[in-house]
Chain A
Amino acid sequence: MMSDLHELLYELKKREDFEIKVNVKPAIKLPAGLNKKLIYEISEAKNEPAWMTEHRIKSFEIFEKWHEPDWGVSREELDLSKIVPYVKPNAKKTTTWEEVPEEIKQAFDKLGIPEAERKYLAGVGAQFDSEMIYKNIKEELKKLGVIFTDIETAVREYPDLVKEYFMKLVPPTDNKYAALHGALWSGGTFLYVPKGVKVPLPLQSYFLFGNPGGGQFEHTVIIADEGSEVTYIEGCTAPKYDVVNLHVGTVEVYVKKGAKMKYLTMQNWSKNMFNLEIKRAIAEDDAVMTWVSGSFGSYKTMVYPATILKGDNSVSENVSISFAGPGQHIDTGSKVIHIGKNTRSTVDARSISIGGGWSFYRGLLKIMESAKGSKASVSCTGLMIDNKSKSDTVPIIEVYNTDSDVGHEAKIGRIKDEQIFYLMSRGLSELEAKGLIVKGFIQPVVQELPFEYAIELNRLVDMEIESSIG
């Protein structure tokens, strides 16, 4: 059976791309630079309890002491003293789109968020600059005890849950940017799914950047309690500015006994963004954690979604596609640590480099001595569209017991001239032929996505290829 997807793709190809421009005066825009006074101001603007203020200050002290990581993308052009760490939008937090200021609403309209919410999402959050301006969840899920809110609200309304989980999996001591995040975090998602609750539709948060030179430091905590199931989608976008922007988001996912969590990311930051993220999940007995990541945008990216398979029989799946176009350096990889017995993991990482872009796969698979009878496979594939581009893979595998089964495959390839000729003989232009081959290459990721996102991903591929070689 042929799906309508192909037809829709064809329709979308013809559609003009939109451009998001947002011109809204913020309510608060703190000056650039990093100092304790500024951190107190952020905490005060958020009207935080003392324990959170302390957390920020402690994190900042750690940040000041920590050294820069000596690997990954070059951060020479990133001057932290020039980043504006907190921009509060002139908008109240609301649960209806009617109350969102018109200009901001228009931007989200263009991204199709309110429409998506009506059609196929269980709940939506929307962040503009440093704050969540919209968060809504279907009434029936609320009744089942699902909590879907921003961290600020969670700090006030569920302080015990926040204290138990916030920055416990990614502590400020983890690395310099985790510490920076601990000091400056703002906005993001707090999602709690109670025991046994299966959320039938995905929940989504969308992050939009509206200010040149700004930094976004949203924090996401997800707790999938025992036997629950949930899919969460994170989307990011921003208009391009001629100054550097910074995104240091942190995600912590707790997958309890027998729960299933799927975390999807569609990252399409503008090409002036330093995107330095930390994503980590911990899975207990029989739990399943799935990361699906699409990295398209940003100037330079470092992100390595990690799963700690702590519980016996727990499972980690990691599917990713990264796209490095002209000037971009995308440094990504999956990390899986097997601790529990009979744990299983798969990594399918694909990267595309085009027009001088640089894709770097940096992954870690670690099977501890305790993880008897575990099974893991890592596959990383790079596709280079031209000779200017670069692709590297450094998959590190460490196995500390003798009865685990580990498979590994790494491949770097190019599009063959014969394939292009074959497709051109069917009437496709060279660009369309390359686009189709690339879409085929990322198909394993696309099939993991809900229909509408699959279309969006394919549309992004077309745009990226066109702008890179068109």
Chain B
Amino acid sequence: MLLQVKDLVAKLRDEEKVILKGVNLEIGAGEVHAIMGPNGSGKSTLANVIMGNPKYEVISGDILFEGESILDLRTDKRAQKGIMMTFQNPYEIEGVKLDQLLLIAYRKLHGEDKTFFQLDKEMKALLNEVGLPSEFLERFVNLGFSGGERKKGEILQARFLKPKLLILDEIDSGLDVDALRIVAEQINKLKEEGTSLLIITHYARILNYLDVDKVHVYVDGKVALTGDKSLAYEVEETGYAIVNGSTNTNSSK
């Protein structure tokens, strides 16, 4: 098992209110999972806690990656183990060019296995794939990017950095149909290259383009229902009310 989240309870460090209320989740190598849930249910918190955002505090439970607990690891160490997340609103780093960040990050994660010229070539090929202009790499990270550019930039980073597990935090929000299709293509390519994915979303529409192994319905700090792709469409039709009364889920143990 690549990722195991066990009875995870977590809150914001500076607040009392518990956000994750006993999350259970298992993702196998090469699998694609989607998590759907209403606004404010703590989906993004789950992504942040797995990535080790120090803003959050784990109260109980565990997160295992490749069988080992990562709770004591700082974010960069988790990244070096192969975990990555894309951000809903990725942060601006003024004065730092995207290619500069990509190169530094690649060396941190993969060392010297490729030359500078190979990496340079890869970056440009990816740029082409996601349909961004060549000067995009020269721009400062996320500064003045449009909504679509930010999301494409995030997915480009993921393709380039090749994580074992990629958590996509609302990668589909704010994208038009064309951009959505491009992003979905990239997700499929990541899967082909062996990356496992956890897709956090409000909507089933991105799943139209994807082969999804499991869909989890996430309500009020917990995974309430797990099923296959059809569950996503059910949720879309009936809303999250679907959870009420459905006690025969495989997540309550």
A residues contacting B by CB (< 8 A) are 1-2, 4, 6-7, 10, 416-419, 421-430, 432-433, 436-437, 439-444
Q: How far is the CA of A439 from the CA of B96 in the complex (A)?
A: 7
Looking at the complex, which of B60-68, B99-107, B222-230 is the stretch in contact with chain A? B99-107
Task: Tell me whether A436 and B157 are in contact (CB under 8 A).
Answer: no
Check: B137 CB closer than 8 A to any chain A CB: yes
Q: Are B93 and A425 in contact (CB under 8 A)?
A: no
- Could you tell me if B96 and A425 are in contact, using CB atoms closer than 8 angstroms? no
- Report if A6-B99 is in contact (Cβ < 8 Å); known contacts: A425-B85, A428-B105: yes
Smallest distance from the beta carbon of B162 to chain A beta carbons, Å? 12
28 A-B pairs within 8 Å (CB atoms) are namely A2-B97, A2-B137, A6-B97, A6-B100, A416-B91, A417-B54, A417-B55, A418-B91, A419-B92, A421-B54, A421-B55, A424-B75, A425-B79, A425-B84, A425-B87, A426-B84, A426-B105, A426-B109, A426-B161, A427-B108, A427-B161, A428-B105, A429-B74, A432-B76, A436-B93, A436-B101, A436-B104, A444-B95
Interface of B is mostly: helix
Q: Which of A6, A421, A442 contacts B104 (CB 8 A)?
A: A6
Query: Top 10 A-B pairs ranked by shortest CB distance?
Result: A440-B95, A443-B95, A427-B108, A424-B75, A440-B96, A426-B105, A427-B79, A422-B91, A2-B99, A427-B109
Question: Does the CB pair A2–B93 fall under 8 Å?
Answer: no
Other-chain contact of A437, B51, B87, B96, B103 (Cβ < 8 Å): B96
* A226 to B173 alpha-carbon distance, docked (Å): 60
| Distance from A436 Cβ to chain B, minimum over Cβ atoms (Å) | 6
- Tell me if B26 counts as interface (CB < 8 A to partner A): no
Q: Does B94 contact A (CB under 8 A)?
A: yes
For the complex with contacts A421-B54, A422-B93, A427-B108, 19 further pairs of A-B residues with Cβ separation under 8 Å are: A2-B99, A2-B103, A2-B138, A4-B116, A6-B99, A6-B100, A416-B91, A417-B55, A421-B53, A424-B52, A425-B75, A425-B85, A426-B157, A427-B79, A428-B104, A432-B76, A436-B96, A437-B93, A439-B96
Q: Which residues of B contact A428 (CB under 8 A)?
A: 76, 104-105, 108
Q: Which residue of B lies closest to A445 (CB)?
A: B95
Q: Which residue on chain B has the smallest CB distance to residue A1? A: B138
Contact of B193 with A by CB under 8 A: no
Interface of chain A, main secondary structure: helix
B161 to chain A minimum Cβ distance, whole angstroms, is 7
Which residues of B are found within 8 Å of A440, using beta-carbon distances? 93-96, 140
Cross-chain pair count, CB within 8 angstroms = 99
Within the complex, the shortest CB–CB distance from A459 to chain B, in Å, comes to: 15
Question: Does A419 lie within 8 Å of B93, measured CB to CB?
Answer: yes
Cβ contact of B91, chosen from A10, A419, A439, A442, cutoff 8 A: A419
- Smallest distance from the beta carbon of B206 to chain A beta carbons, Å? 21
Residues of A near B100 (CB, < 8 A) are 2, 6, 436
- Assuming the contacts A419-B93, A421-B53, asked whether A10 and B74 have C-beta atoms less than 8 A apart, the reply is no
Residues of A with C-beta under 8 A to B140: 440
The answer for the CA separation of A279 and B140 in the assembled complex, in Å, is 33
Shortest beta-carbon distance from B112 to chain A in Å: 10
Q: Is B120 interfacial (CB-CB < 8 Å)?
A: yes
C-alpha gap A423/B85 in the complex (Å): 11
| CA of A416 to CA of B89, assembled, Å | 14
Say yes or no: is B90 at the interface (Cβ < 8 Å to chain A). Answer: yes
B54 to chain A, nearest CB (A): 7
CB of A430 to closest CB in B, whole Å: 7
Q: Does B4 contact A (CB under 8 A)?
A: no
Do the beta carbons of A439 and B95 come within 8 Å of each other? yes
Q: Using Cβ atoms and an 8 Å threshold, which residues of chain B touch A417?
A: 54-55
